[in-house]
């Protein structure tokens, strides 16, 4: 099994990229946020332990998330590639992962950074509009509703989510940078960092570049 670590800011398109890549048989996308939310919902022992941390917006303990990722890798040993999204989150977790991989004989191929300038992220995210009534999502730049400010599906008035305002997005980017820059440096030092330009609109060429990374 191979591991590719995905790194990218909120709004970088990392989720979309991962979903595209995971269409290839044998490639799976493991989002630790989703894994944890699933465990909480199912009420597993790990979920019970994680719940309080998540609700208060804190990271769950390193040992807990490492055990969950380890279990996942063991249970899905037949996959050719796992795209790790959300783990490692900091350098101590990167060290835990390195140990885990050494023990299990899984290969780390690279840490793939989807690089998007802050301005582009702010523009993308602050262009988002959501329908408060039916939940439909739009974007004034890339996916505009047929009628300005009105939901195509149910006709309600569209709103900007509280955490999608330019100020909040800038703050989220700062938090992201604080968490992720040390990780970027960590993998760069080890010759494992690959950077993909995520600033354009077309995802396909980036997906191809990323896939090539997986097979090189
Ligand atoms: P966000 O992008 O809002 O942080 P995620 O879906 O990545 O959302 O994660 C949701 C929550 O799950 C985090 O706030 C944290 O509590 C927990 N979590 C996810 N990944 C990790 C991790 N690698 N280490 C510790 N906690 C994590
Ligand atoms: Zn609607």
Q: Which residue of the set 124, 128, 194, 206 is catalytic?
A: 128
Report the pLDDT value the prediction gives residue 126, as an integer from 0 to 100.
Answer: 87
- Is 170 annotated in the active site? no
* Proximal ligand: closest to the CA of 180: 1
Report the pLDDT value the prediction gives residue 109, as an integer from 0 to 100.
Answer: 93
- Is 103 annotated in the active site? no
Report the pLDDT value the prediction gives residue 112, as an integer from 0 to 100.
Answer: 93
- Is 123 annotated in the active site? no
* 32 CA distance to ligand 1 middle (Å): 7
Residue 132's CB is within 10 A of a number of other CB atoms, namely: 11
Q: Rounded to two decimals, what is the model's pTM?
A: 0.84
* 115 CA distance to ligand 1 middle (Å): 20
Report the pLDDT value the prediction gives residue 164, as an integer from 0 to 100.
Answer: 86
Distance CA(38)–CA(60), nearest Å, equals 14
pLDDT tens, residue by residue, 127-181: 999 999 999 999 998 889 999 999 999 999 999 988 788 888 888 888 888 888 9
Report the pLDDT value the prediction gives residue 42, as an integer from 0 to 100.
Answer: 97
Q: What residues contact 19, with CB distance under 8 A and at least 6 apart?
A: 29
The ranges of the chain with pLDDT < 70 are 201-207, 210-211, 213-216
Report the pLDDT value the prediction gives residue 56, as an integer from 0 to 100.
Answer: 86
Distance CA(194)–CA(185), nearest Å, equals 12
Q: What residues contact 92, with CB distance under 8 A and at least 6 apart?
A: 62
Report the pLDDT value the prediction gives residue 194, as an integer from 0 to 100.
Answer: 92
Strand, coil or helix: 52: helix
Distance CA(215)–CA(30), nearest Å, equals 19
Angle at 203 between CA 202 and CA 209, to 5 degrees: 120
Q: What residues contact 51, with CB distance under 8 A and at least 6 apart?
A: 40
Strand, coil or helix: 71: helix
* 168 CA distance to ligand 1 middle (Å): 18
Six-digit token string for 200: 């354009």
Contact call for residues 4 and 84 (beta carbons, < 8 A): yes
């Amino acid at each position: 099994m191979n591991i590719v670590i995905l790194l990218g800011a909120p709004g970088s398109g990392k989720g979309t990229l991962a979903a595209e890549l995971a269409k290839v048989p044998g490639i799976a996308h493991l989002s630790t946020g989703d894994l944890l939310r699933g465990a909480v919902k199912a009420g597993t022992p790990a979920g019970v332990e994680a719940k309080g941390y998540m609700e208060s917006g804190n990271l769950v303990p390193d040992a807990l998330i490492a055990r969950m990722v380890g279990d996942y890798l063991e249970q899905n040993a037949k996959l050719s590639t796992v795209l790790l999204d959300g783990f490692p989150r900091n350098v101590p977790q990167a060290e835990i992962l390195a140990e885990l991989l050494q023990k299990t004989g899984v290969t780390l191929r690279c840490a793939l950074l989807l690089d998007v300038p802050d301005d582009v992220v702010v523009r993308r995210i602050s262009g988002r509009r959501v329908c408060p009534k039916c939940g439909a999502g739009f974007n004034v730049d890339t996916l505009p509703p047929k009628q300005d400010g009105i939901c195509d599906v149910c006709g309600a008035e569209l709103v900007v989510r509280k955490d999608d305002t330019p100020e909040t997005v800038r703050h989220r980017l700062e938090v992201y940078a604080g968490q992720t820059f040390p990780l970027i440096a960590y993998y760069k030092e080890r010759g494992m960092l690959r950077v993909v330009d995520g600033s354009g609109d077309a995802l396909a060429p980036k997906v191809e570049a990323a896939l090539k990374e997986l097979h090189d």
